[in-house]
Amino acid sequence: MEYLKPVFIILWNMIPGFTTVWLIRLLLFNPKHEHRFPNRKKVPLTPGLAYRSKNWIIKKLSSLLEDYIKDTRNMDKESRISKWELIVYRKVWHKMAFISEIKFLPGSWKEKIRTFCAFIVYEITKQFFRSFIPYLMDHFAVRKYIELLDKKLDVEIVKKFYVNYIFKYTMLLSLGIALFISIWNIIIYFIIK
């Protein structure tokens, strides 16, 4: 029985590493679809994290696109695009401070030139954010590419890559570390005994 204790120590140290790596794989890829209890509540951790992440990314891209399109139509000062435009205006205003140091210009002209330059850059920015980018989105059919990404982004390919390149080596690393710890524990066990 004394000779079986090292085997039990090795198994005892390898089981947590083995189960942790398998549990990570299960949480990432199983199940593929959402499951519900009989009372219609969602079962936690369904679908797997990889499938949930794919769905979240597609929804986030779609909502960002829709929010941007809504912001281009919104002329309020509270919209994100208006805030960006004001940031550009202020930065140009501060960068044009050197005009006030020109000695041969009247003071009113200095202020008008500074305001005019900042306003021109503000209008260019406004046209870029509110007209040109939506035009590019329509021209290149960005919505279509998001839908295409949803269809083409296959989690099964990611799962295959994970199993071939990550899971296998993570399992070997985990079991190797557990074996090293087990041997160390066996040495300590025999020294103490």
Give pLDDT tens digits for 142-173: 999 999 998 888 888 889 999 999 999 999 99
How many domains does the chain divide into? 1
Q: Which range of residues forms the domain containing residue 51?
A: 5-192
Structure tokens at 70: 């809504």
CA distance 51 to 155: 7
- Is residue 23 within a helix (H) or strand (E), and if so which, with residue range? helix 5-29
Poorest-pLDDT segment among 30-34, 79-83, 118-122, 186-190: 30-34
CA distance 48 to 39: 21
Q: What is the pLDDT of residue 135?
A: 94
3-state secondary structure of 78: coil
Q: What is the pLDDT of residue 144?
A: 93
Q: What is the pLDDT of residue 65?
A: 92
φ, ψ dihedrals at 111, nearest 5°: -65, -40
The vertex-160 CA angle with 177 and 179, nearest 5°, equals 10
Mean pLDDT of the chain: 89
